[in-house]
Amino acid sequence: MKKPLMITLGAAATLAMVSVTAFSDQQRVHAAEKEAATKVDKAAVERSRKITKNLDNIFKQTVVLITSKYVHDESDFAAGSAAVLLFDNISKSSDNKIRLIDATGQPYDEENVARDDFEREAIKRLKAGAKLHEKVVRIDGKPQLRTVTPVPVVMKKCVMCHEHYADAKEGEPIGAISYIVPIE
Ligand code: HEC
């Protein structure tokens, strides 16, 4: 008699364990669903991060290319002016919003400055050595990735028009590019 009882008890204990495990699994699924509904999808944020990185590389390569091949004196159409125009047109014609801004306190054009707390904080951090500053935000209920990346004095020619860039420390950003890219 002893043995079967042991087995029965053992089976009951196993059953109890299974049901406890099943319950906590279910709870975990509910918690994950709730989190997904309120939080932004991590993989989608990563895709937006990649888009921003690619755009940033293309823009910076373009500014250097234009400056080295087409800009010879102060009267030439500056890469800065080209970038401001290009970013304006991209911002108007797509969901990506991009701006070129000053980080020195002496912009060529008063329009090209940090406009909100996020951009002002970004300039502070980039000047302190951060490689970028980013934040997930909601604009009109839609998740967006905001990123600001540094623009250093990449060439001596930059100083031709922006004389005060000569005062910048080695590697210190004199400007920044501000991005708003949808998370989708
Ligand atoms: C030929 C003159 C010229 C040269 C060379 C030049 N810029 Fe500019 N830059 C300008 C002008 C003009 C603006 C204002 C553009 C506008 O608002 O339309 C500007 C704007 C900028 C801005 C936005 C902030 C501001 O001052 O308005 C940054 C940042 C910038 N330039 C960085 C650079 C860098 C980096 C280089 C070197 C790769 C460079 N510039 C070379 C003329 C120049």
The alpha carbon of 45 and the centre of ligand 1 are apart by a number of angstroms equal to 31
> What pTM was computed for the model?
0.82
Nearest CA among 138, 102, 141 for reference residue 122: 102
Which residue's alpha carbon is nearest to atom 17 within ligand 1? 109
Q: What's the whole-number mean pLDDT along residues 83-89?
A: 96
Q: What is the pLDDT of residues 126-178, one digit of tens each?
A: 999 999 999 999 999 999 999 999 999 888 889 999 999 999 988 899 999 99
Q: What's the whole-number mean pLDDT along residues 84-107?
A: 97
Q: Residue 121 is encoded by which pair of tokens?
A: 């904080």
Which CATH class, in words, describes the domain spanning 40-182?
alpha beta
Q: What is the pLDDT of residues 105-128, one digit of tens each?
A: 999 999 999 999 999 999 999 999
- pLDDT at site 171: 84
Residues 6+ apart with CB under 8 A from 51: 96, 181
- pLDDT at site 155: 86
> Residue 146 CB: number of other CB atoms within 10 A?
21
- pLDDT at site 81: 92
Decide whether any atom of ligand 1 lies within 6 Å of the 177 Cβ: no
Ligand 1 atom with least separation from CA of 67: 38
The alpha carbon of 144 and the centre of ligand 1 are apart by a number of angstroms equal to 28
Q: Which residue has the higher pLDDT, 11 or 92?
A: 92
What is the spatial distance between Cα 147 and Cα 180, in angstroms, rounded to a whole number?
Answer: 7
The alpha carbon of 161 and the centre of ligand 1 are apart by a number of angstroms equal to 7
